Structure formats: C-alpha cells, structure tokens
C-alpha cells in the first residue's frame, strides 16, 4: 500500500501514515536505509518490528525531498541528524506514522483497536477519567486516552511521568475524529494545557499534539 495519508494541519504540522503491506524485502528496497541504520535493524529478532522500522524509513523518504538521517537522543526521542525539523514517530504491526513541525515540539501515537486496553484503566487513568468511561465504547475510549497521554509524553520528553496523576484528559465522546483537551501537571504543580486531535481508521486510532 505504501503512503496511506499525508496531511498538512492548520498549525503547520505535517502528518504522514504508511500502511505496511509489503514484504520485508520490498520494504528494504523502498526504504533505501543508510547502512548504519540497516545494521541496527538487522539485529532485531522480530520480523514485524524490522518491517515497522523499514516502513518508517520508507515514509520519511516520501515526506522529504532529500535523504534524512534518523537518530535518537538518550531518552529515546527521535531526531534527524541533517534536518532541524521536530519529529515524533509511532508504529503498529499494520501502520507507521510520523508528525513533523519546523518550530514546535510534537507527539504522535497510534494503536490498534483490536488490542485489549483494559489494563490502561488501572495504570494510566485518574479517578475522574475512569468515571467518564462508557460501556458501549469502553475499549475505544481507553485507546484514545492512552494515545493522547503517550503523544503528550513524547512531546514533553521527560522521565518518570505518572500518566494517571500528571496527564489529565478532559471528558470526551469517541467519534470518527475529533479534538481533545488535556493538562500536564509537573512535580511543582505547574500546569500546561494541550489541544490534541485524533482520528480512527481501519480499526486503529491515531492521536497527535503540537506544542505552543
């Protein structure tokens, strides 16, 4: 399938989504991965994870006119060695996605709705968020909560964030796409507000956020 979605947002961010339908060999050819990255990928035991990494590289090739070199900070946050754009990356077995912004930090997360998110309720939600859950779309709602908190976590790039205590997502009702409001509370009780967006497609949910 290749490029599934390329979208320019009102806040000047760009989102790209790649659907993984290719074989590992096809992705290797499409990705034109630099040798040092390819060596790192070759040590990954899981074929699915290798394909996800190659698909990220193939997606980057379609989003940039010139070849970019992907690396990661010590905390795992991705960056491009030869381009100052801010980037966040996410992947599942079927899709990989990135968000890019020239000036602001950003975060993105994707999850399959076929996954059971019941554990998220206990480890990542506040009491108020749990009270807002609905039985009819409970798993989808939990997935959106999780993706929203992951996206903010990636944007902030901080250690030891308590998702339940420090990231509060305002009440929402799951739809095909929509907006979310959330607040991050740091260790000093200072608050930072975020506006997020989400969309669902092919039994997946994608959430993204751009800093101010």
The domain total for the chain is 2
Rounded average pLDDT over 161-172: 96
Q: Residue 10 is part of a domain; what is its CATH number?
A: 3.90.470.20
pLDDT mean over 180-207: 95
Q: What is the pTM of this model?
A: 0.95
Q: What is the band of 190 on the pLDDT scale with cuts at 50, 70, 90?
A: very high
d(CA 192, CA 39): 40
CB 72 within 8 A of CB 78: yes
Same-domain pairing of 171 and 134 = yes
Which of 71, 103, 135 lies at the terminal end of a domain, its last residue? 103
Rounded CA separation 190/27 (Å): 45
Per-residue pLDDT of 32-80, as tens digits, reads 888 888 888 999 999 999 999 999 999 999 999 998 999 889 888 999 9
Q: Domain limits at 27?
A: 2-103
What does the pLDDT read at residue 76? 86
114 and 31 in a common domain: no
Are residues 162 and 133 located together in one domain of the fold?
Answer: yes
Task: Specify whether 29 is located in the same domain as 95.
Answer: yes
| Residue from 1, 66, 3, 2 nearest 34 by CA | 66
């Amino acid at each position: 399938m290749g490029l599934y979605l390329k979208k320019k947002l009102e806040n000047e961010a760009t989102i790209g989504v790649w659907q993984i339908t290719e074989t590992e060999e096809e992705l290797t050819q499409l990705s034109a991965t630099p040798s040092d990255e390819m060596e790192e990928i070759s040590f990954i035991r899981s074929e699915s994870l290798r394909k996800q990494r190659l698909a990220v590289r193939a997606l980057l090739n379609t989003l940039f006119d010139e070849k970019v070199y992907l690396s990661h900070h010590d905390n795992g946050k991705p960056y491009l060695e030869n381009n100052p754009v801010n980037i966040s990356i996410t992947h599942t077995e079927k899709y990989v996605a990135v968000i890019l912004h020239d000036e602001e930090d950003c975060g993105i997360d994707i999850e399959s709705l076929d996954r059971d998110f019941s554990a998220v309720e206990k480890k990542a939600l506040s009491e108020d968020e749990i009270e807002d859950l609905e039985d009819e779309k409970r798993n989808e709602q939990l997935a959106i909560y999780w993706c929203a908190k992951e996206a903010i976590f990636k944007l902030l790039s901080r250690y030891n964030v308590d998702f339940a205590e420090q990231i509060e997502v305002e009440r929402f009702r799951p739809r095909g796409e929509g907006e979310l409001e959330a607040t991050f509370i740091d260790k000093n009780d200072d608050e930072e507000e975020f506006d997020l967006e989400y969309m669902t497609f092919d039994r997946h949910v994608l959430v993204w956020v751009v800093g101010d």
